[in-house]
């Protein structure tokens, strides 16, 4: 079956530091890959996505590249802000209204 | 993307009672999904709801405990029945993007505490 593995958290960074959250996946076929963000007390928001190999998803300064050769979709941001403090979920979808598989989530705390 | 609302946003319930959670979407969608997020955990799919047919439940979830209705293409309800403290979670509904982009969009969630 499909699976998503994320780096363990929590991750604590100082403001303006570089962020990487690792995500690797196992899937048959060619899934779409996603990063969702959950701010404290809120639901999940789509942060970015990529639908095929070598696609780069980007939003709000965050980026992730779909690497089929390494089955990875690492999330990066060059300079984090306190407002980026949240839980980040990596996910994959096989498409066709099939079940989305989520990683365990990585909590990010950014301190001033 | 679809705009999704849920009611109630949070509730505190007594053991043995039931709570019905509503999910409303601002556009017609084929499939709606119900997830549970236990404290500090990731999301677990409870069931998939297709309009006009019985919901499809994931392993470990049964209709008697989590009955779902899907009366039309913009609305669904999830009932958490005979609640126990172990049911304390965030319950989220989601829809898949129209046009088959594989993207799921989520409602704000219902935070349930069972005493």
Residue B103 — pLDDT band, cuts 50, 70, 90?
A: confident
3-state secondary structure (DSSP) of residue B85: helix
Q: What is the C-alpha to C-alpha distance for residues B20 and A101, in angstroms, rounded to an integer?
A: 26
Is the pLDDT at B20 greater than 90, yes or no? Answer: yes
Q: What is the C-alpha to C-alpha distance for residues A49 and A66, in angstroms, rounded to an integer?
A: 9
Residues of chain B positioned with their CB less than 8 A from the CB of A100: 33, 45, 104
Q: Which of B2, B30, B42 would you mutate first to test chain A, the one with the most A CBs within 10 A?
A: B42
- Per-residue confidence (pLDDT) for residue B99, from 0 to 100: 64
Q: Please, are residues A103 and A89 in contact by the beta-carbon 8 Å criterion?
A: yes
Instruction: Extract the runs of DSSP E, i.e. beta strands, from B26-106.
Output: 31-37, 43-50, 56-57, 68-72, 75-80, 89-96, 104-106
A and B: number of Cβ contacts within 8 A: 53
Parts of chain A with a pLDDT under 50:
none
Q: Please, are residues B4 and B107 in contact by the beta-carbon 8 Å criterion?
A: yes
Inter-CA distances, A109 with A61, A112, B8, B73, Å: 17, 10, 29, 39
Q: Which residue of A has its CA nearest to B103?
A: A93
**A25 interfaces chain B, CB cutoff of 8 Å:** no
Q: Do B102 and A95 touch (CB under 8 A)?
A: yes
Q: Do B106 and A45 touch (CB under 8 A)?
A: yes
- Nearest C-alpha neighbor of A33 from the set A5, A73, A86, A69: A73
């Amino acid at each position: 079956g499909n699976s998503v593995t994320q780096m363990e958290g929590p991750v604590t960074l100082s403001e303006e530091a570089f962020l990487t959250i690792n995500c690797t996946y196992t899937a048959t076929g060619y899934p779409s890959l996603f990063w969702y963000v959950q701010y404290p007390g809120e639901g999940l928001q789509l942060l970015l996505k990529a639908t095929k190999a070598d696609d780069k998803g980007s939003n709000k300064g965050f980026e992730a590249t779909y690497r089929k050769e390494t089955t990875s979709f690492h999330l990066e941001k060059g300079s984090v802000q306190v407002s980026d403090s949240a839980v980040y979920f990596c996910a994959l979808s096989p498409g066709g209204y099939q079940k989305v598989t989520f990683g365990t989530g990585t909590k990010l705390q950014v301190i001033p | 993307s679809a705009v999704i609302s849920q009611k109630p946003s949070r509730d505190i319930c007594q053991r043995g009672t039931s709570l019905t959670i509503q999910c409303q979407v601002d556009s017609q969608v084929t499939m709606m999904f119900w997830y549970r997020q236990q404290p500090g955990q990731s999301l677990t799919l409870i069931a998939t709801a297709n309009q006009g047919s019985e919901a499809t439940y994931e392993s470990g979830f049964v209709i008697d405990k989590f009955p779902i209705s899907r009366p039309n293409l913009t609305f669904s309800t999830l009932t958490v029945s005979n609640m126990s403290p172990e049911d304390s979670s965030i319950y989220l509904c989601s829809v898949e993007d129209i046009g088959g982009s594989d993207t799921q969009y989520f409602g704000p969630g219902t935070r349930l505490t069972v005493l």
